[in-house]
Structure formats: C-alpha cells, structure tokens
C-alpha cells in the first residue's frame, strides 16, 4: 500500500525474539504508515532457596501503531496504538505458576518539529509542546471499528509466535473511555490483555516561535508502550477449587508474588502542510 513502510523499533526490556512486519490495513485519510512488533517477556527467580537464578517465559507482549503521514494546518491527524499481553503458565518447584495481564500504558510525546521550508529544527519543549495538540482521544479495552484490523493482526502475531490459545477478544466489543486533551504529551492506561488508544492531532502555527502558516512542518513524536504482568503461584491445599473441580488452580486460589514489565518505543513523523 502506498505510503506504508516499517519503522525501526527499540525494544527496551526484556527482549528474546524480535518481529517487525508491516500492517496491511485501509487508509484513514490519504496516506498511513504502520509498524508492529512483539517480544517474549521473561521473569526470573532463585530456585530452590539458595540455588540458582533461572528464567521462565511468562508471556508475549505485542504492539502495533498506525498514524497519518500528512494533514493540513486546518485539519486533524490521527494516531492509533494497540497493545496485547499474551500470558501462560508453567510448573516449577512442585508448584503451578501463571501470569496474568495487568496494565498497558500508552504515551505520545512530541520530541522535534522541523520547518521544511526554512530547514529550521525545534526541540525545546517550551516551543514544540505549544504547537501540537492531542484531543478527543479514547482508550478501548477490546477493539474499535478502525483499529480491529491492527489488533487482529497483532493478536495473530502473539498466537503464531507463542502457540498460546486465547479466546477471541472481539466477540464482545467493549465501550470506550474518553481521555483528556493535552498539548505536547499525552499518557493513558489500558487494562486487560488487549487494549487500544486513539487520539486526534491538531497542529497550530500560532505562538511566539515565529511559525508561518505558509510553511510545511515535519513533526516527530515518540510512541511508548509499557506493559506489566502479575506473577501468581498456587497456594498449596487452598489452591484446590471445589467448585470448578478437584485440583483446578484459579487466580482466586493462589497469590500474586511479583510483577514483570516490558516496554517498547518507536519514533514516528508526519508532515503538516499549508491549508
């Protein structure tokens, strides 16, 4: 699809496997770019007590993004971000362990504006923040009409890379939660194993920095995903659930012992043209 290409990804912690492929989805306006990826998440502990430190693969963290390449001064851009946490269980030290999805943080921050007409670059937050406005955003825990294509593929990445079996998260489309408007930076939180964040982007050339409405500007934003997983272990005899069946381990019968984290960051650019 014209205008779609991969962008390099920076995987922060932890990283075992890398996957970066384009997302094939329809344009929101004229031109879009897409990028996606994922990484196995590991968690380590010492076992037996006084023994050696070893790791377990506790799940898979995947993310996807789509944004509009270009829009005019009097128009709006859009940025979509999706995140998914695939969890699993394992057996260690005579006990059953498992992970649970906890929370995904989404953050968009303006880091540079370049005047393509004069080739002047601006990086001072006091200047660039006042020219980029994020508004009418929402977080949706399960799926949206526009982003389902992105996260369906993201979900397929998780299943393909891990073999984990999940229920279809789109059987029930959940409602969305509106988020506040913000200049220069916006941070929101999603819950559950799958969530999405979308926001509109407005560019303003007015202010004290001398921006001109006849110039074309290139805006660079940093997208960050931050995910957390709860680590659970069965609680012995109390781990047997008499309602669901003898020996069945459920989150209610165990205890949370730790939290594991994973994160990813990519930089995106879009141009703002004269009206």
Q: What is the pLDDT of residues 187-245, one digit of tens each?
A: 998 877 788 888 999 999 876 577 899 999 999 999 999 999 999 998 753 333 333 33
Q: Is residue 226 part of a domain?
A: yes
For residue 128, what pLDDT band results from cuts at 50, 70 and 90? Answer: very high
3-class state of residue 160 by DSSP: helix
Q: Is residue 95 part of a domain?
A: yes
Question: What average pLDDT does this structure show over 143-158?
Answer: 55
67-112 pLDDT tens trace: 889 999 999 999 988 888 888 899 988 889 999 988 899 999 999 9
Mean pLDDT of the chain: 73
The pLDDT of residue 224 is: 94
The pLDDT of residue 119 is: 96
* Whether the Cβ atoms of residue 111 and residue 123 lie closer than 8 Å to each other: yes
Exposed/middle/buried for 119, CB within 10 Å: 0-12, 13-18, 19+? exposed
Q: Rg for the chain (alpha carbons), in Å?
A: 21
Tokens standing for 241? 């659930």
How many whole angstroms separate alpha carbon 139 and alpha carbon 137? Answer: 7
> Is the pLDDT at 7 greater than 70, yes or no?
no
Q: Is residue 4 part of a domain?
A: no
pTM over 0.85: no
Q: Is residue 5 part of a domain?
A: no
Q: Is residue 3 part of a domain?
A: no
> Is the pLDDT at 255 greater than 80, yes or no?
yes
> Is the pLDDT at 123 greater than 90, yes or no?
yes
> Is the pLDDT at 174 greater than 90, yes or no?
no
The pLDDT of residue 235 is: 75
Total domain count, the chain = 1
| Residue that wins the pLDDT comparison between 263 and 38 | 263
Q: Is residue 248 part of a domain?
A: yes
Helix, strand, coil percentages in the chain from 3-state DSSP, rounded to 5:
10, 55, 35
Centroid of chain to Cα 222? 12
The pLDDT of residue 244 is: 39
Q: Is residue 2 part of a domain?
A: no
CA angle 125, 130, 134 (to 5 degrees): 105
For residue 269, what pLDDT band results from cuts at 50, 70 and 90? Answer: very high
| Residue that wins the pLDDT comparison between 50 and 18 | 50
CA angle 6, 174, 167 (to 5 degrees): 75
The pLDDT of residue 116 is: 96
Selection from 161-165, 170-174, 197-201 with the highest mean pLDDT: 197-201
For residue 149, what pLDDT band results from cuts at 50, 70 and 90? Answer: low
* Structural domain of 77: 10-44+54-273
Looking at 43-57, 134-148, 241-255, which range is the least confident one? 241-255
For residue 19, what pLDDT band results from cuts at 50, 70 and 90? Answer: very low
Q: Is residue 1 part of a domain?
A: no
The pLDDT of residue 148 is: 57
Instruction: Tell me the percentage of the chain whose pLDDT exceeds 90.
Output: 32
């Amino acid at each position: 699809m014209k205008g779609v290409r991969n962008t390099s990804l920076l995987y922060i912690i932890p990283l075992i496997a890398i996957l970066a492929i384009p997302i094939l989805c329809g344009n929101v306006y004229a031109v879009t770019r897409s990028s996606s990826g994922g990484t196995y998440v590991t968690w380590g502990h010492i076992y037996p007590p006084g023994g050696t430190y070893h790791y377990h693969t506790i799940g898979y963290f995947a993310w996807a993004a789509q944004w509009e390449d270009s829009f005019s001064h009097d128009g709006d851009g859009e940025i979509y971000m999706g995140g998914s946490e695939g969890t699993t269980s394992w057996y260690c030290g005579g006990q059953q362990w498992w992970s649970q999805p906890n929370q995904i943080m989404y953050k968009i921050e303006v880091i540079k504006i370049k005047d393509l007409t004069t080739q002047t670059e601006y990086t001072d937050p006091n200047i660039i923040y006042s020219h980029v406005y994020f508004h009418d955003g929402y977080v949706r825990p399960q799926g949206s009409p526009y982003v389902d294509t992105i996260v369906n593929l993201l979900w397929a990445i998780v299943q393909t890379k891990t073999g984990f079996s999940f229920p279809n998260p789109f059987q029930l489309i959940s409602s969305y939660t509106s988020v506040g408007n913000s200049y220069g930076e916006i941070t929101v939180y999603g819950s559950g194993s799958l969530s999405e964040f979308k926001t509109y982007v407005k560019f303003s050339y007015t202010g004290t920095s001398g921006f001109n409405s006849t110039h074309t500007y290139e805006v660079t934003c940093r997208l960050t995903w931050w995910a957390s997983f709860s680590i659970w272990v069965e609680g012995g005899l109390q781990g047997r659930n008499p309602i669901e069946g003898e020996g069945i381990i459920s989150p209610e019968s165990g205890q949370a012992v730790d939290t594991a984290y994973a994160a990813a960051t990519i930089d995106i650019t879009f141009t703002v043209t004269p009206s």
